[in-house]
Amino acid sequence: MKGKHQGVQKRLLEVNPSALYMPCACHSLNLALCDMAHSCTRAVSFFGIVQRIYALFSGSSKRWKILRDNVPDFTLKFLSNTRWESRIKSVKAIRFQAPELRLALSLLYESRDSDAKSKSEAESLYNALGGFDFLLGMIIWYEILFVINKVSKKLQSKSMCIDTTMVHVESIMSYFEKFRLDGFLSCMNIVKTIALDIDVEPTLPTRHRIIRKRYFDETNEEDEQNQSHEEVFRLEYFLVVVDMAIASLKSRFVQLKTFENIFGFLFDSEKFKSLDEKESRECCLTFHSTYTSDVYKNDFYSELKVLQSTLPNTLLSATDILEFVKSADCYPNA
């Protein structure tokens, strides 16, 4: 529970100062995605268009039938702030069925049963889906959401532990660091193919150039004006989202590092049995500094030395080690 100053976390710590704050990994991942989705106006606008498409078709059974008749494989979902799986499904529906979705919007616009408001919204969204910048954002977000959704599914499994959670989080961060370097170029190659399939000009819209008076000591061309439209999009959208992803993941999962420092030597039997005498004593001191009143430092160290030699050579998880210690019934501190 959060609220370390006046909330639930503070009240729990008043009862037991040794209690540790453990955030839900899936919730932290969801919050990191929320940070990314609100990192720039282009990202906010993108999901706004996706939500408008769903709202338009879901507002009427006749309009929904037009959608289902023309977009049969994947369907749109309501965008939930707490369930990002709905976002990957909606983006997936547009990513792989953009021509079919544009056809459904055009049929809705031409339908006699549609009122003026629906026609106007259908025309607006049809033009939005025909924008190269929207299509490029669609590819970028699909690549991001696909990877994060896979990891989110793994984090919800019953066998997930702190160490494996950290492995998955670090794998996402390494993916984003690599994606930051070469992801934009690969997304550009994909979106150009999609643009040609739906007869969209595969170029980003021209930015309005502000011409101002220059003084005698200024150069004729400014660096910003020399930048291509693709480079501006990469700097102001792609890198902003990816950098926010890396920063948010680091800050929101920093607590896992605390748990690793305290309990890391007991995550599995292989790591525990590989500790030498110096490392084992350092682990005991770190653990004892956190739980001073719960374990006797010297007894704890002696128990761990014996436990290292008596544990089976097979790979055991932290839960398996605990079961072994409980069955032996001679390691009270451990």
Note down pLDDT in tens along the chain; length 334 residues. 667 788 888 888 889 888 887 778 888 888 888 899 999 999 999 999 999 999 999 888 999 999 889 888 877 777 776 676 678 888 888 889 888 999 999 999 998 888 899 999 999 999 999 899 999 999 999 999 999 988 888 888 877 777 788 888 889 999 999 999 999 999 999 999 988 888 888 888 766 555 566 665 555 554 444 468 889 899 999 999 999 999 999 888 888 888 888 888 888 888 888 889 899 999 999 888 888 878 888 898 999 999 998 998 888 888 888 999 999 988 888 8
Three-state SS annotation for the chain: CCCCCCCHHHHHHHHCCCCCCCCCHHHHHHHHHHHHHCCCHHHHHHHHHHHHHHHHHHCCHHHHHHHHHHCCCCCCCCCCCCCCHHHHHHHHHHHHCHHHHHHHHHHHHHCCCCCHHHHHHHHHHHHHHCCHHHHHHHHHHHHHHHHHHHHHHHHCCCCCCHHHHHHHHHHHHHHHHHHHHHHHHHHHHHHHHHHHHCCCCCCCCCCCCCCCCCCCCCCCCCHHHHCCHHHHHHHHHHHHHHHHHHHHHHHHCHHHHHHHHHHHHHCEHHHHHCCCHHHHHHHHHHHHHHCCCCCCHHHHHHHHHHHHHHCCCCCCEHHHHHHHHHHHCCCCCC
CA 321 to chain centre: 32
Residues 62 and 318: their CA atoms lie apart, in Å, by: 56
Q: What is the value of pTM for the model shown?
A: 0.81
Residues 117 and 123: their CA atoms lie apart, in Å, by: 10
Taking only the tens place, the pLDDT of each residue in 208-261 is 555 566 665 555 554 444 468 889 899 999 999 999 999 999 888 888 888 888
Residues 307 and 118: their CA atoms lie apart, in Å, by: 71
Structure tokens at 249: 């993941």
205 in Cβ contact with 131 (< 8 Å): yes
For residue 89, with 0-12 CB atoms within 10 Å meaning exposed, 13-18 middle and 19 or more buried, which class applies? middle
